[in-house]
Amino acid sequence: MLLIVGTIRFPAENVAAARGAIEALVTATRAEDGCFEYRFAEDVLEPGLIHITERWRDRAALDAHFQTPHIAAWRAAGTTLGVSDRALMLYTVDDGETL
């Protein structure tokens, strides 16, 4: 399984405007084959900082995700809304265990 964890940043004044694009991206991505988790969360202490967590079945599913129309739309919206400081890390992990 693949795990992606990281952050992106918007100008704080653009976060409200970004919510529609984020919702469209998350909704479409969660419906993709091989997507186990896809979450964006606003940081409560740093305005404009968004935390991202993704879990994917395998690299083929992730690569297919990058070719979808909703990713193209997200990239265009992100440019318009001022996404910056993109810092995402990809990890290969096992299925984990419940704590």
**Token couple for 35:** 């997507």
Distance CA 75, CA 68 (A): 11
| Domains present along the chain, CATH in parentheses | 2-92 (3.30.70.100)
Q: Are 5 and 88 in contact (CB under 8 A)?
A: yes
Q: How far is CA 98 from the centre of its chain?
A: 24
- Considering the entire predicted model, what is its pTM? 0.92
> Over the stretch 17-74, which tens digit does the pLDDT of each residue have?
999 999 999 999 999 999 999 999 999 999 999 999 999 999 999 999 999 999 999 9
**Which of 41, 38, 35, 4 has its CA nearest to residue 19?**
41
Distance CA 51, CA 12 (A): 14
What pLDDT is recorded for position 15? Answer: 94
